[in-house]
Amino acid sequence: MSPELDELYQEVILDHSRRPRNFGELADATVRVHGDNPVCGDEIHLAVKLGVDGGLEDIKFSGHGCAISQASASLMTMKLKGRSRAEIVTMLQAFHALVTEEAAEAPKALGDLRLMQGVRKFPQRVKCAMLAWRAVEQALRQTVGEVTVSTETDLMA
Amino acid sequence: MHKLPVSDVDWKVIRNDFPILARRVHGHPLVYFDSAATSQKPRQVLEKVRHYYEYENANVHRGLHELSSRATEAYESSRQRVANYLGAASADEIVFTRGTTESINLVAQAWGEKFLREGSVILLTEMEHHSNLVPWQLLAERVSARLRFVPVRDDGTLALDQLSSLLTPEVKLFAFTHVSNSLGTINPVSELCQKARAVGAITLVDAAQSAGHMPIDVQELTCDFLAFSGHKMCGPTGIGVLYGRGEILDTIPPWHGGGEMITSVTLEKSAFKRAPHRFEAGTPNIAGAIGLAAAIDYLERIGRPAIFEHDVELARYAMQRLVELPGMRVLGPPTERGALVGFVMDAAHPHDLTTFADRYGLAMRGGHHCNQPLMRRFGLPGTTRASFYFYNTSEEIDRMVEILHAATRFFS
Ligand SMILES: Cc1ncc(COP(=O)(O)O)c(C=O)c1O
């Protein structure tokens, strides 16, 4: 067997891809973001409820895509619910480093998201892992309404 | 329908012409099933290009020196070689381009802007590669023309029964692919061309997936334009061809301006060469053209009927083996298909499947294959595609099936 594949598709990741958490609609969402990876056809619809202080009160997602994009979205929603804006921005940067940088440490704060570290050995799959995060980043920028982001046009710094 | 083998080519020996096929990927022997994206290149082609650069390199149509005449002769005889390969009436009907995409853009821009007007209809099919869709969308926008599409049936063939109602007199151009790059469907080119001609429409055939795989005779097909890329048929990247029927090519105004395409230039105005040089502004891809001619020589030594036979047999065998897998759905027609199979499996998303296979040395393509509207038509985000060429073997297909079985176990 290939150790890189075992690391990429850990049991927890496959489990989240088969039974994604926080999957569905959010009736009282304040902002909706449609994330789109035109390279592979993955789509994610993110519904976010932001509180008056800008924190993330509730979050749900739907859509379809590969195991990596689904699991990443599922793990992300679990992690971000109830977090402040500043915490989310920090996590976003840490997660991006985790999946792209060979030497990046995996901060404890990321919890189960650290299991996605295997993605860094598969550069073609980084966009899959980042799709949900791009959407949440846009949700924070947008704060209200409905918008579409694409992994091809909205590259994070 | 079973045809007897038309040749006794030793396909295993032919593999030795392709050094890359002997390499390992991620510790496993490479199984290259992505020739529809780009084919591998035999030594004979690589050596020809290298020889040109080492001993004959010079610019064409300019210098009066010996090397320049030689380069010009090599470049122009490559054009003649392509003309013979396609059964064209003359080498003047062969324009060198960067590839299929550029060939189609040339027609869409230079021909389309002159001959299409508001209300003209461009007829395409639902199975076109983005290369044979987007240039027409851009043209339609500019001249207020309309696009119309021949639907694709569930079995991956064109709904030919609807053709007569779609081919109305407003249709000025019918552009369609010879072989679908994601379904494998082989379209009846000469029938389509004749029906289009009956209403006065010009035809363009996207031969990207057929030019290196089967015999093509443009006069038998009766198409007006035909486009293909060298890199999908053992040639280098960056070289391709637009065939244009002489009477039509001569009516098209220049496209890109620059050196090589003019007869005289004053500060105010220029006079232009005839086709095909009118469409080849600037220093062309000389080595590319020479490499393409070498690729044609190589393919012709094996023989296109033999290549087609081998390809079709691989596709048939792949279909037969793939249906053994649980939750497998193969797209496209069961028979009469080109050298590729697109499929989806319940066990895993095409992306995950392709990543998994790659770790075992199996190179396939996963995604929408530049066919987004077609994928939508079939309700799929994408497929995994295994595409074959004459250097592939049935043992490699067995290996693919083995790897897909392992993937099924891994993901379920
Ligand atoms: C059917 C078809 N048309 C057009 C193209 C575009 O070819 P190129 O990228 O060489 O211009 C391809 C290849 O990707 C193809 O398969």
What proportion of chain A, given as a percentage, has pLDDT over 90? 72
Q: Which of B300, B315, B331 is the last residue of a domain?
A: B300
Are residues B313 and B245 both part of a single domain? no
**What does DSSP say about strands B31-32 and A56-64: parallel, antiparallel, or unpaired?**
unpaired
Are residues B217 and B157 both part of a single domain? yes
Q: Which residue of B has its CA nearest to A42?
A: B381
Q: In this structure, is residue B1 part of a structural domain?
A: no
Please give the structure tokens belonging to residue B307: 């290549």
Q: In this structure, is residue A132 part of a structural domain?
A: yes
Q: In this structure, is residue B127 part of a structural domain?
A: yes
Q: Which of B300, B334, B357 is the last residue of a domain?
A: B300
User: In the prediction, which pLDDT does B336 show?
Assistant: 84
Residues counted in chain A: 157
How many Å lie between the centroid of ligand 1 and the Cα of residue B231?
10
Are residues B367 and B404 both part of a single domain? yes
Are residues B149 and B73 both part of a single domain? yes
Domain range for B36: 6-41+304-411
Domain range for A75: 3-147
Asked if the Cβ–Cβ distance from A5 to B359 is below 8 Å, we say yes
Q: In this structure, is residue A53 part of a structural domain?
A: yes
Mean pLDDT of B226-247: 98
Q: Strands, E, within B98-201: which ranges?
A: 121-125, 146-150, 171-177
Q: For residue B367, give the H/E element and its range.
A: strand B365-367
The answer to whether A154 and A127 are in contact (CB under 8 A) is no
Q: In this structure, is residue A45 part of a structural domain?
A: yes
Annotated catalytic residue, options B193, B223, B234, B370 = B370
Asked if the Cβ–Cβ distance from B352 to A68 is below 8 Å, we say yes
Are residues B272 and B323 both part of a single domain? no
Inform me whether the pLDDT recorded for B2 exceeds 70.
Answer: no
- The CATH number of the domain holding residue B207 is 3.40.640.10
Which of B63-72, B303-312, B358-367 has the lowest average pLDDT?
Answer: B63-72
Are residues B374 and B267 both part of a single domain? no
Are residues B260 and B326 both part of a single domain? no
User: In the prediction, which pLDDT does A157 show?
Assistant: 34
Q: In this structure, is residue A153 part of a structural domain?
A: no
| pLDDT, tens digit (0-9, with 9 covering 90-100), for A93-136 | 999 999 999 887 888 889 999 999 999 999 989 999 999 999 99
Are residues B373 and B288 both part of a single domain? no
Are residues B232 and B345 both part of a single domain? no
Q: How confident is the model at residue B7 (pLDDT cuts 50, 70, 90)?
A: low
Per the structure, the count of domains in chain B is 2
- Chain A hits for B381, CB-CB cut-off 8 Å, are 40-43, 64-65
User: In the prediction, which pLDDT does B270 show?
Assistant: 87
| pLDDT, tens digit (0-9, with 9 covering 90-100), for A51-80 | 988 899 999 999 999 999 999 999 999 999
Instruction: Report pTM.
Output: 0.93
Asked if the Cβ–Cβ distance from B375 to A67 is below 8 Å, we say no
- The CATH number of the domain holding residue A142 is 3.90.1010.10
User: How far are the Cα atoms of B52, B60, B76, B185, B253 from residue B188, in angstroms, in the given order?
Assistant: 39, 39, 32, 10, 31
- Cα B294 from Cα B44, distance rounded (Å): 7
| pLDDT, tens digit (0-9, with 9 covering 90-100), for B158-210 | 999 999 999 999 999 999 999 999 999 999 999 999 999 999 999 999 999 99
How many Å lie between the centroid of ligand 1 and the Cα of residue B395?
28
Give the three-state DSSP class for B339: coil
- Cα A38 from Cα A57, distance rounded (Å): 29
Q: In this structure, is residue B115 part of a structural domain?
A: yes
Inform me whether the pLDDT recorded for B4 exceeds 50.
Answer: no
- The CATH number of the domain holding residue B31 is 3.90.1150.10
User: In the prediction, which pLDDT does B379 show?
Assistant: 87
| B308–A contact, CB cutoff 8 A | no
User: In the prediction, which pLDDT does A136 show?
Assistant: 94
Ligand 1 atom index nearest CA of B232: 10
Mean pLDDT of B311-331: 95
Q: In this structure, is residue A155 part of a structural domain?
A: no
For ligand 1, atom 14: residue with the closest CA: B37
* Ligand 1 site-directed mutation target among B101, B106, B187, most atoms within 8 Å of CB: B101
Inform me whether the pLDDT recorded for B289 exceeds 90.
Answer: yes
Q: How many CA atoms lie within 13 A of B365 on its CB side?
A: 20
Q: In this structure, is residue A156 part of a structural domain?
A: no
User: In the prediction, which pLDDT does A153 show?
Assistant: 62
- Chain B hits for A42, CB-CB cut-off 8 Å, are 351, 381
Q: Strands, E, within B208-282: which ranges?
A: 225-229, 240-244, 262-265, 270-272
How many Å lie between the centroid of ligand 1 and the Cα of residue B159?
23
- Cα B364 from Cα B62, distance rounded (Å): 44
Which of A15-29, B110-124, B194-208, B259-273 has the lowest average pLDDT?
Answer: B259-273
Q: What does the mean pLDDT of chain B come to?
A: 95
Are residues B19 and B59 both part of a single domain? no
Q: Which residue of B has its CA nearest to A11?
A: B411
Per the structure, the count of domains in chain A is 1
User: In the prediction, which pLDDT does B373 show?
Assistant: 87
Highest-pLDDT range among B243-252, B264-273, B329-338: B243-252
What proportion of chain B, given as a percentage, has pLDDT over 90? 87
Mean pLDDT of A25-33: 94
- Cα B74 from Cα A107, distance rounded (Å): 62
* Best of B25, B134, B355 to mutate (most A CBs within 10 Å, chain A): B355
Q: In this structure, is residue A64 part of a structural domain?
A: yes
| pLDDT, tens digit (0-9, with 9 covering 90-100), for B44-94 | 999 999 999 999 999 998 778 999 999 999 999 999 999 999 999 999 999
Q: Which of B269, B285, B300 is the last residue of a domain?
A: B300
Residue A155 C-alpha, separation from nearest chain B C-alpha, in angstroms? 21
Give the three-state DSSP class for B390: coil
Are residues B231 and B333 both part of a single domain? no
User: How far are the Cα atoms of A23, A48, A105, A108, A136 from residue A80, in angstroms, in the given order?
Assistant: 14, 10, 20, 14, 9
Inform me whether the pLDDT recorded for B368 exceeds 80.
Answer: yes
Q: In this structure, is residue A157 part of a structural domain?
A: no
CB-nearest to A40 from B348, B351, B411 is B351
Count of helices and strands (H, E) across chain B: 15, 17
- DSSP secondary structure code for residue B2 in this structure: P
Q: What does the mean pLDDT of chain A come to?
A: 90
| A65–B contact, CB cutoff 8 A | yes
How many Å lie between the centroid of ligand 1 and the Cα of residue B129?
7
Which of A108-112, B106-110, B125-129 has the lowest average pLDDT?
Answer: A108-112
- Cα A27 from Cα B350, distance rounded (Å): 32
Are residues B182 and B126 both part of a single domain? yes
